[in-house]
């Protein structure tokens, strides 16, 4: 099956260029010139991924992203935002709106296709994951919940994503840069020390259950999730 990518972009030349690159990569492009057309397009069959321009006439890309996230049919469809330089400051808002990744204009279609493939791969991993249990800690992938035994753990969204990544990639060491890439989607505006902050929070979340030792520091390398001390 071809992956169907919805391209929401008001500039026809960019839309055409992206559609051409998608076809070459064996993917199908669906066009929308504004938010209204995008909503019509997703109402029928939700696409596999949405490429969303930040600056659109009428409803902005950011507003549209929030709306797509709020609707059950499109809540899990990955979104890659296309932004112009100088719009970086607003990216934090984008993260909160649930955007999966960003590509800054002007971009090469090669880079864009690589990002699309990476995001599609991540979302497929999520679907296939289901429930995982390691060392007394369990995550329910589809429900985005974590449990210690039968007790549900209160966990923040970023800590959950981090934990989910660790548990689906246990026993391997990841550098801060790799964790940024996998968990934060390689967003350039997140600094590496952000990883340390969220690792600390994740350990604090697991501490009352005596499970914080699962998240291990590997000196000079990064972090690892392991049931072996
Ligand atoms: Ca635009």
CA–centroid distance, 53 to ligand 1, in Å, is: 6
Q: Which of 82, 106, 124 is the last residue of a domain?
A: 124
Say how many Å lie between the CA of residue 27 and the centre of ligand 1: 22
Cis, peptide link before residue 106, omega less than 30° from 0:
yes
DSSP 150-218: TEEEP--HHHHHHHHHHHHTTT-EE-HHHHHHHHSTT-TTS-HHHHHHHHHHHHHHHGGGT-GGGEEEE
Domain final residue pick, 98, 124, 150: 124
CATH code where residue 177 lies: 1.10.10.10
Question: Contact at 8 Å (CB) between 204 and 213?
Answer: no
- Which of 63, 92, 124 terminates a domain? The answer is 124
Please give the DSSP secondary-structure letter assigned to residue 154. P
**pLDDT score recorded for residue 208:** 97
pLDDT at 202: 97
Expressed in angstroms and rounded, the spacing between residue 17 Cα and the centre of ligand 1 is: 14
- From ligand 1's centre to the CA of 60, what distance in Å? 9
Q: Count how many domains the chain has.
A: 2
Q: How far is the CA of 160 from the centre of ligand 1 (A)?
A: 33
Distance CA 115, CA 185 (A): 9
Give the bridge partners for 49, in sequence order.
5
Shared-domain flag, residues 185 and 93: no
**Residue-level pLDDT at 191:** 79
- 195 Cα–ligand 1 center, Å: 32
Helices and strands in the chain, H and E counts: 8, 12
Distance 18 CA to ligand 1 centre (A): 14
pLDDT of residue 85: 65
CA of 33 to the centre of ligand 1 (A): 9
pLDDT of residue 185: 72
Predicted confidence at residue 108, as pLDDT, reads 92
61 Cα: distance to centroid of ligand 1 (angstroms)? 9
Domain that residue 206 falls in: 131-225
Ligand 1 centroid distance, CA of 13 (Å): 11
Q: What is the pLDDT of residue 49?
A: 96
> Does residue 147 share a domain with residue 105?
no
Residues of the chain with pLDDT below 50 are none
Whether residue 98 sits in one domain with residue 11:
yes
CA of 8 from ligand 1 middle (Å) equals 9
Ligand 1 centroid distance, CA of 54 (Å): 6
């Amino acid at each position: 099956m071809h992956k169907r990518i919805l391209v929401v972009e008001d500039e026809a030349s960019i839309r055409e260029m992206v559609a051409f690159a998608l076809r070459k990569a064996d993917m199908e492009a669906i066009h929308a010139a504004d938010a209204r057309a995008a909503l019509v397009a997703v109402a029928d069959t939700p696409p596999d991924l949405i490429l969303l321009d930040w600056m659109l006439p009428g409803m902005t890309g950011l507003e549209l992203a929030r709306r797509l996230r709020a609707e059950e049919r499109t809540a899990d469809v990955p979104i890659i935002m296309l932004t112009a330089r100088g719009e970086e400051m607003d990216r934090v808002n984008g993260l909160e709106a649930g955007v999966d990744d960003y590509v800054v204009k002007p971009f090469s279609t090669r880079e864009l296709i690589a990002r699309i493939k990476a995001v599609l791969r991540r979302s497929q991993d999520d679907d296939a994951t289901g429930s995982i249990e390691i060392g007394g800690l369990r995550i329910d992938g589809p429900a985005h919940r974590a449990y210690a035994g039968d007790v549900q753990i209160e966990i923040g969204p970023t800590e959950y994503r981090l934990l989910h990544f660790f548990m689906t990639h246990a026993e391997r060491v990841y550098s801060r840069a790799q964790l940024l890439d996998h968990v934060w989607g390689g967003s350039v505006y997140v600094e590496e020390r952000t990883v340390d902050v969220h690792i600390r929070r994740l350990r604090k979340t697991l501490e009352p259950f005596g499970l914080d030792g699962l998240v291990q520091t590997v000196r000079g390398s990064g972090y690892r999730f392991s049931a072996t001390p």
